[in-house]
């Protein structure tokens, strides 16, 4: 069966973006109050819940794994936005501005995904979804360490690159779960 990674990526992102913008209309940009470490913790909570659901196969809350991956994608975008915005920038932003910023971050992340897919030959297609969850959890641990080091790295990518990787892993998981 032929695959079109670009279309699959765009389809997943369209679902995530739609929810993100609806929540922006409901709540405004309340996420602007979050410090980077809080965003990392939100991603951790979602990834840990996915891992628990993968292992226990039962949800007592009613939300499924797909909704948690969508949350990871949207929090990764929030994380990238917060790294770019200054603390003294306005907390409230117009939906159109947020949408443009969302698109910019996702497009940069998609470009990174294609570069890595070229080098790795889309190996993610042969991976288990649970491995993608574990990779997200590992990236979260890396981000936490970088945050504890006040953003300084010696030989590693920064927080933004880790957010991009987590976003892409979550997109891959949703493609594998056949989110439409």
pLDDT of res. 67 = 96
pLDDT of res. 14 = 98
pLDDT of res. 1 = 42
Distance CA 15, CA 11 (A): 7
pLDDT of res. 91 = 93
Give, in degrees to the nearest 5, the angle at Cα 86 between 85 and 88. 130
Tell me the domain boundaries of the chain: 5-176
Beta-carbon count within 10 A of 160 CB: 17
Q: What is the pTM of this model?
A: 0.94
168 class by beta-carbon count within 10 Å (0-12 exposed, 13-18 middle, 19+ buried): buried
* Position 45 pLDDT exceeds 50: yes
């Amino acid at each position: 069966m032929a695959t079109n990674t670009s279309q699959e990526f765009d389809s997943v992102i369209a679902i995530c973006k739609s929810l993100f913008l609806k929540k922006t209309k409901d709540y405004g940009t309340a996420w602007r109050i979050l410090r980077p470490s809080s965003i990392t913790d939100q991603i951790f909570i979602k990834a840990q819940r996915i891992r628990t659901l993968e292992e226990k196969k039962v949800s007592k809350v009613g939300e499924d794994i797909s909704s948690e991956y969508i949350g990871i994608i949207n929090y990764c975008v929030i994380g990238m936005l917060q790294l770019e915005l200054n603390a003294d920038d306005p907390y409230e932003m117009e939906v159109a501005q947020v949408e443009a910023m969302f698109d910019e971050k996702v497009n940069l992340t998609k470009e990174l995904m294609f570069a890595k897919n070229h080098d790795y030959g889309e190996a993610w297609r042969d991976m288990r979804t649970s491995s993608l969850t574990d990779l997200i959890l590992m990236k979260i641990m890396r981000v936490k360490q970088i945050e504890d080091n006040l953003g300084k790295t010696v030989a590693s990518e920064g927080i933004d690159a880790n957010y991009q990787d987590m976003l892409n892993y979550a997109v891959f998981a949703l493609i594998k779960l056949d989110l439409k």
